[in-house]
Structure 1
């Protein structure tokens, strides 16, 4: 790997600065598991850009005041511990330091808290790999952990999750998972006679949940055509009407304006689901994201850029490989899973969407990660076998762990949806 990976060249340190330093930090840490961190503020979205897993360790302020103020989110800490991370509490902590052990080992020291970046807040983080500096940080981490004592237990953090609530955020979409029963009646589903009903549909969340922490039994899968039922062109189906999972008022959410839909530079194949029921918190996030990112046609007011919600049940078996974390700004092709580990030939394929946000609900069993994608409603759904056959013609097998980045492969995948127009080539 060497210094070239850290972009240090012949230097031993460089500065990362700007309003979104976590994007670069996340890329630097992506291949590392042996991470030691000491962070003063751990917000509710920290796992989105700092997805720690064992044998990582982290020192935080997990005191009563930190929980009550929302400075430290116990739900994030609980999720980390359940992935084998040792979490220590040191109320006197006021550090923002990360040590990545590997080849090469390096440290990050700066101003950035583990919270979602604010557009107008300029941050600065120093990256260094000088051996003496790395050793000094290693010694400081050991000292802080010794002062903290034993790592926090699952029982302690579970109790903290139930007791504490972060302070009310500025943006409603950033609220914590609510643990209250939802007694609202299921709203009627609106119909749209102007758009034909699709021939095949993926399973959708049914109604509203009885409780946020409860996952309902899967809906009965719809009948879909077999792999030999029709040629590729006939296997396409009309784009599903965007699901109204919240209320009739949700149909009015979104701005009317110009449609800016950039062409993806790389694409992931994302096995995701919409089988079962979404939590109340997840539905609220969807509503607020639609308010911000849905764009309606200037001609008829229909949504052209929509926000859709998918999810994935997280792996719970010891030693099992965790799924890919799709980060904000990445483009993914959702493959709608229905109770299978891998897509079947009739699994439904949606057009590429851009990840706007994700979060993991650790109160669900198993934990569930929700992904919110901005999509173009002009894109039709189709059978997964069409994509599989296309990749076979390119000498490729479907990959669910790595992005397709070569231009001719990206173009071939995008050409499955010729009905989608892009604002530019980049």
Structure 2
């Protein structure tokens, strides 16, 4: 298999990659209510999440998902400083940015999946060395459910709240050029003009993502 890169929607690849024999070890910061469908763990597996009060109140980690895993016999732990998203099986490691949530499908996430034994061992070591660990049990979940009711979803890409809405883009339809006219005459100061000149692109950039919107200035003198 080697090492493969998957993005911007990596969860189908992650789900397939971790369907292996033996125990799985995962440290995934945030869990949506649909996490069990994306991250199919079973009895004997280990899952570390960020189930801090802040994460629960922001609806970043779901008490319902925690309860599902605990009832399945998964050992679930909470680390309030966890932000990583890594998984280790006996034969593969997953390292990336994807939280176990449907909201991840609305963000540009990416992961590496590898069968490199050294990387697999390093992921296991990373998970084993996480500190400030709290065991998640029924009492913890009951308290988390109350915190969930107090809080509200905070729209964070890939964590909670569906961010990408194609019907609510910056512009209602694709445009190639748009002109915005100043309502009043304005003469930039020498300093402002210098800043404008410095930021005006001298030649098109070829590296990196394509720019969807670009702002340029044009002055039309009165005749």
The 8 Å contact of residues 13 and 128 in structure 1, kept in 2 or not, is answered as: yes
Q: Aligned partners of 1:162 and 1:43: how far apart in 2?
A: 17
> What secondary structure sits across from 2:135 in the alignment?
coil
The 8 Å contact of residues 60 and 153 in structure 2, kept in 1 or not, is answered as: no
| 1:121-147 Cα deviation digits (max 9, x unpaired) | 322100111111111111111101xx1
| 1:6-49 Cα deviation digits (max 9, x unpaired) | xx2xxx3111123x311121122234451111111111111121
Q: Aligned partners of 2:105 and 2:75: how far apart in 1?
A: 31
TM-score normalised by the chain length of structure 2: 0.63
In the alignment, structure 1 residue 116 sits paired with structure 2 residue 105: no
Q: Aligned partners of 1:84 and 1:49: how far apart in 2?
A: 17
In the alignment, structure 1 residue 57 sits paired with structure 2 residue 46: yes
> What secondary structure sits across from 2:6 in the alignment?
strand
Structure 2 unaligned residues grouped into runs of 5+: 156-223
Q: Tell me by how many angstroms 1:88 deviates.
A: 1.0
- Report the CA distance shift for 1:33/1:53 in structure 2 as closer, same or farther (over 3 A): farther
Other-structure match for 1:14 = 4
Higher percent of residues as strand: 1
- What is the aligned counterpart of 1:91 among 75, 80, 95? 80
Aligned residue pairs total 155
Other-structure match for 1:164 = 148
TM-score normalised by the chain length of structure 1: 0.34
Other-structure match for 2:92 = 106
Q: Aligned partners of 1:168 and 1:40: how far apart in 2?
A: 16
- Report the CA distance shift for 1:158/1:120 in structure 2 as closer, same or farther (over 3 A): closer
Q: Aligned partners of 1:123 and 1:130: how far apart in 2?
A: 22
Other-structure match for 1:141 = 127
The 8 Å contact of residues 53 and 147 in structure 2, kept in 1 or not, is answered as: no
Moved over 4 A (4+): 117-120
| 1:100-141 Cα deviation digits (max 9, x unpaired) | 12xxx1100011111105555322100111111111111111
| 1:371-404 Cα deviation digits (max 9, x unpaired) | xxxxxxxxxxxxxxxxxxxxxxxxxxxxxxxxxx
The 8 Å contact of residues 93 and 123 in structure 2, kept in 1 or not, is answered as: yes
The 8 Å contact of residues 33 and 54 in structure 1, kept in 2 or not, is answered as: no
- What is the aligned counterpart of 1:69 among 58, 62, 66? 58
Other-structure match for 1:260 = none
- What is the aligned counterpart of 2:69 among 73, 80, 86? 80
Structure with greater contact order relative to length (CA < 8 Å, sep ≥ 6)? 2
| 1:217-251 Cα deviation digits (max 9, x unpaired) | xxxxxxxxxxxxxxxxxxxxxxxxxxxxxxxxxxx
Q: Tell me by how many angstroms 1:80 deviates.
A: 0.5
The 8 Å contact of residues 48 and 76 in structure 2, kept in 1 or not, is answered as: yes
In the alignment, structure 1 residue 153 sits paired with structure 2 residue 137: yes
C-alpha RMSD of the superposition: 2.2
> What secondary structure sits across from 1:164 in the alignment?
helix
Structure 1 unaligned residues grouped into runs of 5+: 1-7, 171-426
